[in-house]
Structure formats: structure tokens, C-alpha cells
Structure 1
Amino acid sequence: MRAGSPRLLREINDRAAIEALLRNGPLTRSELEGLIGLSKPATAQLLTRLESADTVVRNGLRGGGRGPRAQLWSVNGALAHVAAVDLTPDAVDVAIADISGAVLTEHRAPMPRGGSTEVLEAFSTAVGKAAGQAGLTPESLLHVVVGSPGAVNPATGELAYAPHLPGWGGFDLPGTLTEMLGTSVSVENDVNLVALEEMIAGRATEVRNFVVIWPADLVGAAVVINGSLLRGATGGAGEIDGLQIPDRAAAETDTDRAGGTFGELLSNVSICKLARAHGLAARNGHGAVRKALTAGPAGREFLVDLSRRIATGVASVVAVLDPELILLSGEIAQAGGTTLNDLVAAELRQLVVPRTPVQLALVTGKPVRSGALHSALAVAREQVFGLPAATTEPFRGRAVAPSAR
């Protein structure tokens, strides 16, 4: 096909229109015309062509005032469906969406503590039930993305760095899930998916180099370099739970001051023990942090001690990568809010030369599942529409006018 041929121009224009509709939702012809830069007749012909191909559908009317109401157009969501899954040791949280990004159904189910047969069967049942609620089968899903603690080794497919997920190791995880569900499956580290969501809709939309830190039980990190996730040779980039650090907390909790793992010092048990050393009782780490915010001087001292532990581990990451931004995410970070965030930033400045800003992650709620959904949609849209799979880039595509031939 020659560059500049009518067919090539139509394909470029069609992709630009589809991407505009996916990013902005239902649009009128004139709104679409303004976004992709075509003339009124050319945009009308484009919509007719896409409607004939069942790629776009009419989606109600927009109007008001005294003028006529305008026809709205949207991408045909029924063209393909995907699943996003947040897998934790205790539960599996599934969302089914169509290719437009509309979530059709959600389903959450407990996960057993057993061997591979038990956990895989429970996982498959949960995905099957979610698909059934949307009138689908797992086999009819175009792609499934699973967000999981730990990391999949790209050479073997085995899940590593996840001792808290018994039954999930020792085999090709994406391959096994693909065979079980009858459709393609990707498995991505959960904090990596949080970073993806921050690039799409959070504080990192205009940041090229940053790190997300999840300072909680089983500490994790996601590293983004030049706008791309760094996964490492074995998939273990960001697996900082086992990083050996000293305990710089002032309160005495019988820890080895010479060092322990980052994860041990920020486990629920350790955080609650640190809180008790400051006179605060809580059943879990984020509960202790929330209580400390209203506990006066004792609460403040506990938060300072906790920030020392967090900052000590983060300092190693900053010293090596010198990122533009550190984002704190997860239950502990959200519970501590700006108070804990600012304390961590202050402690970090005492430990490393780079004055890296520290901020709370903006995306809350279900960031892992949301990141998995965007990842699954990127795969589906590349296959169905030929759109670039990079979901973190802002919309820059403009149609090519016929006169440019």
C-alpha cells in the first residue's frame, strides 16, 4: 500500500475517530470533527463507514435550548469484552468490561488457603461467575489481566516473591490460567498496575520517572523509567520487601537495631507493636495509623517512628534511581494522609542528597483492579482497532485530511 493512498488515509482517520470516542465518551459529529480535524462532510462519511462496519453505534441525542438535538456516537462496546482481576491472599475481585471501558459487572469471592488445585479452581469459578453475570463465558473474553503480589518470571512464567500466596508458585501461571479460562491471560505485579493507573489518572500523568511505594504488609514498589515500567530480568524490579534495613524508630520494640527486612518492619504485627510502645492499641497497621492522627503527642511520636522506618527503605530506592517523584500508596499511606506523607518526606531529606518530592498516590478505591482493566483494554483495543497498546500516552492523534495527499 502506497503512503498517502485513500485506503491508508481512511484507516488513519478511522483510528483517530475511534480513539477520540474511547477517550471522550459519546460525541456528536461536530464534536468529533473538532477533535480529529476533518471537515464536516469527511466526518459524516467516516461515521457512516464506521456504523456500517458495526464499529460505532448511535447513542442517544444531545441538545437543549432552542436548537435541534444532535446525534451522539460511541464505540460499539459489544465488539469485545475483557476481565480485570485483583488477586490477594484472601480474595479475588473481578470486573468485566466491554471494549469501550464500561464495567458491566463486578464479583468478589474469598480465596481458600490450600494447594494449587484448590486456589486455581476457586479462581476459575470466580471469573466464570463474573462473566456469567455479564451474559458471557470466560472463553468469550478477549483478554484477562490479573494483578497479583509478587512477580512473574518472564522466562518461566512462575510467580516469585509471593510466599504469602501458597499454591500459586512452581508452574507457568499465565499459561495455566490461559488454559483454564480458554482465553489469553496476563499476570502483572499489583503495584505496577497502581503505577499504571497513576500515569493514566493520577499524579504521574506528566511524570516520566517515578516510583510508587506500597508501605504495608508485604512492601512493594513499582519503578517507572522514561514512561515505561521497569520489570527487571526476572520480573523482580521493585520487590523491596526483603530489603535489609536498620530500625531507626526511637521506641523500643525488641527489634534488632542492626537490621531486619523492610517487610518485617512494616508488617501489621510490627506496626501494631510500635504503636503499643507509644501507648496506642490497634488491631492492624492502618487502624493504628488512623488512631495516631487524633492521639496527641503520643500519636505524633508513633507516626514519626513509622516514617523513619518507611523513609529508611525508600532512601535506598531514591539513592539508586534519583526519580522525579515518590508516590505513597496503599492502606497505610492513605490512613496516614498528608501527615504521614510529610513526615516521610522530612525523614527522607535527612538520608539522601536528592530532594525527591513525596506525595500521596491520587488513585484510591481499587487501584490494582483499575490498572488491570486499563491494561486489558489496551490489549483488546490493539487487537480490535489497531490502536497503540501504550495506554499512558495522552491523545495526540489527529486525522489526516484528504487534501494532504
Structure 2
Amino acid sequence: MHGTEGIDAAKGKVTAAVVGIDLGGTKILAGIADLEGKVLATLREETAHGPGAPVLDQMAALVGNLAIKAGLDVASVCRVVIGVPSAVSPKTGLASLSPNLALPEDRPLAELMSDRLRLPVDVENDVNLAAFGEAVAGAGRGLDNVAFLSFGTGVGLGLVVDGRMLRGAFGRAGEIAYLPTGSDVHRRAPRSENGLFEDEVGTRGVVSRNPDIGGVRELFERAEAGDATAREAIDDLARRGSVGLASVHALIDPEVTVIGGGIGSQPWFFERIRHHLAPLLPFDCHLEPSRHGAEAGMLGAVLNAVHRETRRA
């Protein structure tokens, strides 16, 4: 991406590196890369929960362990970018709207981690970083306006507009989980913990509508084997999801929407959501499956860290 910055040309040794961390409610996926964006090592761990936010020390340890795994001096790490499943205020740096992950509410996560690591740390919404990664080196490469719509445990939307991540005034741009879909929304919305659209298309909604199927993984396995009931359930899920997807194209008009996440990355779901989107809008919408799969958030964080560090230099 940027020649051979951060590499000792005489020895071919990496002298500067960045770390990207995808912090989720159940797992953490982290990667270390040189300043060309080449990933040198990755680590995956279950997210630590409990009093005192042990996940902060867990992430600090991950940075050091990644450097060791890549055969680098820990001091070579010059920047860390963390993606979180939250709205991150661009004004205060505080995280909110994170039902699946308890984060400190009194101090910005970036400050807390920078204090521990003694180096620059930036925190962004995880799906925004996934969108950034797809725009830089994925299905949206070379495009200025890219949306990333993730269907999985929950639902999230990341946006790159005019080449930059769109955060909104309070960091809530792309909080599509709260899109008021379905019937009688004024009565149902105040009772919804995670948002009406997420109630429709998230894992909980899928399982509640299909109690005879053990879970989402089993649903797709049965559909792959030709089970008609499972295929009908996925078709119904895609039809519900297409409403949110149509809203993205009507309001944002991206050049491409990349579909990802544990559910979104399934080929059968992708084909059906494209099918159900077609009659909703009087214009064509360009859709692509994620090129980065389960690593989309981590790779987006890595590439964003490279972007920040090389731009600074």
C-alpha cells in the first residue's frame, strides 16, 4: 500500500507494525500487520467478562502476544485500532448502545487502552471498520461509497461515504438494528431491547420463529441438505432482511453493499436477499458477498491502523 515503510530494506525486517482488534461479546480476533497492510499473525480468544472490565488487560496482553507470535519486538507496535459493537461518539469517545458487551461508560475506551499500552489507540464501530476494510481491499475496493451490512447474532451497518467512514454526530450512523420494521411499531419499539429490525433478522428472531431447528448453524446445514422447511425459513429471513437493505439504498445510495456476518456470508441467504430486494426499489442495487468473511472486522481495524499511521507519517 505504501512502498516499504516500516521495513529495514537492508535486512528485510519489519521495524514498525500496527494491531487491529475486533472486540465482540463472545470472542476477540486480533491481528498484527506491517505498514503495507500484510498481516503477520493473528490470535483469537474468548472475551473476558466480569467486574473491573478484565477485557482491557486482556486486549493489552494480546498486543504483546501478537508481536511475539510475529517474531517482532513489542516496541515495534506503533498504533492499535479497536472495533467495538457499539456507537462510539466522535465528540467524547464514549461507547453506547452495546447490549452484548459491557464497556466503561465514564472514560473513553481509547484512553483506557492508551494508558495501558503507552501508544496511540483509536476505537471505532466494528461494522464501520468492516466497511472500511472492504472499501480498501475487499469487495468495494476502489469505490468511494460502500455499505457493509452484517447479519449474524445481531445486525449492523457500516458506511464509507466519499471515502470516509460515516459516524454521525453521536456515532450512531448505521445503527440499523433500531429501524422500526414490522407492524404496530409504536407499541413494540419501547419493549425491544436490541431494536425492531434486529428482532426480525437477528439470531434470536430466527430461533424463536423456528423452534424445531436447533440454531442458525443447523438451519443452514439442513437447507444445504435440501430440507424444504429450512429453506423456507431462510427465505423468510432474507425477505425480512431485504426491507433494511432497501432502506440503505434508498437513503444512502452506495455504489455497493457488501453482505457479511455469520448469516449474511451464507450463499443461500445472499441469493435470497438479492431476490427479495429487487421488487422493493425502482432501480438496480449492486450487492457483493464479503471478501473477508469472519475476519472482516479485524482486517478493517488493521487497515484503518495502517491508514492512520502512514497518513501521519
Task: Answer yes or no: same fold by TM over 0.5.
Answer: yes
Helix, strand or coil for the counterpart of 2:106?
A: coil
Alignment-derived partner of residue 318 in structure 1: 249
- Higher RCO structure (Cα 8 Å, ≥6 apart): 2
Relative distance call for 1:130 and 1:306 in structure 2 (3 A) is same
Aligned equivalent of 1:206, options 135, 142, 147:
142
Q: Which residue does the alignment assign to 2:9?
A: 57
Question: RMSD between aligned alpha carbons?
Answer: 2.7
Question: Equivalent residues in 2 for 1:121-132 (5 A)?
Answer: 121-132=57-68
> Are the structure 2 counterparts of residues 171 and 365 from structure 1 closer, same or farther at C-alpha, using a change threshold of 3 Å?
same
1:21 & 1:292 partners in 2: Cα distance?
A: 47
Query: Counterpart in 1 of 2:2?
Result: 19
1:298-327 Cα shifts (integer Å, max 9, x gaps): 233212211111112222222212222222
Contact 1:113–1:119 under 8 Å retained in 2 = yes
Q: Shift of residue 271 of structure 1?
A: 0.9
Contact residue 95 and residue 103 of structure 2 kept, 8 A: no
The CA deviation at 1:85 is 1.1
Question: 2:310 corresponds to which residue?
Answer: 381
How much does 1:77 deviate? 2.1
Size of the aligned set, in residue pairs, is 304
Structure 1 counterpart of 2:281, one-letter code: V
1:59-138 pair list within 5 angstroms = 77-78=14-15, 80-133=16-69, 134-137=71-74
Please tell me the residue identity of whatever aligns with 2:244. Answer: G
Q: State whether residues 109 and 126 of structure 1, in contact with CA within 8 Å, keep that contact through their aligned partners in structure 2.
A: no
Retained in 2: the 8 A contact 1:114–1:167? no
Mapped contact 2:135–2:146 kept (Cα < 8 A): no
Residue 214 of structure 2 corresponds to residue 282 of structure 1: yes
Determine the structure 2 residue equivalent to 1:359.
288
Equivalence for 1:162: 98
**Rounded Cα–Cα distance in structure 1 between residues aligned with 2:134 and 2:87:** 19
Q: 1:365 to 1:111 in 2, by over 3 A?
A: closer
Question: Structure 2 counterpart of 1:210, which letter?
Answer: V
Aligned to 1:312, the other structure's residue is in SS state helix
CA distance in 2, matches of 1:214, 1:286: 16
User: SS of the counterpart of 2:49?
Assistant: coil
The equivalent of 2:228 in structure 1 is 297
Partner of residue 128, structure 2: 192
Any conservation in 1 of the 2:153–2:262 contact (CA below 8 Å)?
A: no
Cα shift at 1:145: 0.8
TM-score, normalising length: structure 2: 0.86
- TM-score, normalised to structure 1's length? 0.68
> Relative to 1, partners in 2 of residues 1:262 and 1:286: Cα closer, same or farther, differing over 3 Å?
farther
**Change over 3 Å in CA distance of 1:158–1:344 after alignment to 2:** same
Q: CA deviation at 1:373?
A: 1.2
Q: Which moved more, 1:341-350 or 1:215-224?
A: 341-350
* Alpha-carbon shift at residue 212 of structure 1 (Å): 1.1
Deviations 1:60-117 (A, max 9, x none): xxxxxxxxxxxxxx6x521x22211111112222222333444443333322222344
Distance 1:135 1:19 in 2: 20
Residue matched to 2:179: 243
Match of 1:231 in 2: 167
Match of 1:171 among 100, 107, 120: 107
Conservation of the 8 A alpha-carbon contact between 2:90 and 2:167: no
Contact 1:322/1:354 (8 A) holds in 2:
no
Identity of aligned residues (%): 27
Counterparts in 2 of 1:115 and 1:19: CA distance versus 1, 3 Å: same
Q: 1:324 is aligned with what amino acid?
A: E
How far apart, in 2, do the equivalents of 1:56 and 1:365 lie?
32
Name the amino acid aligned to 2:277. L
Q: 3-state DSSP class of the match of 1:269?
A: helix
Partners of 2:289 and 2:196 in 1: how far apart?
A: 23
Q: Pick closer, same or farther for the CA change 1:269–1:55 going to 2, 3 Å.
A: closer
Q: Distance in 2 between matches of 1:116 and 1:174?
A: 16
Match of 1:151 among 74, 87, 98: 87
Deviations 1:188-244 (Å, cap 9, x if unpaired)? 211112112212222212333231100222210012222222111111111111222
Residues 225 and 381 from structure 1, CA distance in 2 versus in 1: closer, same or farther, beyond 3 angstroms?
Answer: closer
Q: Deviations over 1:8-39 (max 9, x none)?
A: xxxxxxxxxx93456xxxxxxxxxxxxxxxxx
Cross-structure match for 2:206:
271
**Counterpart amino acid of residue 344 in structure 1:** I
Contact 2:139 2:290 in 1 (8 A): yes
Question: 1:271·1:288 contact (CA, 8 Å) conserved in 2?
Answer: no
- 1-side partners of 2:170 and 2:18: how far apart? 27
The counterpart of 1:309, out of the listed 240, 245, 268, is 240
Residue 348 of structure 1, aligned match among 277, 285, 295? 277
Whether the 8 Å CA contact 1:84–1:144 is kept in 2: the answer is yes
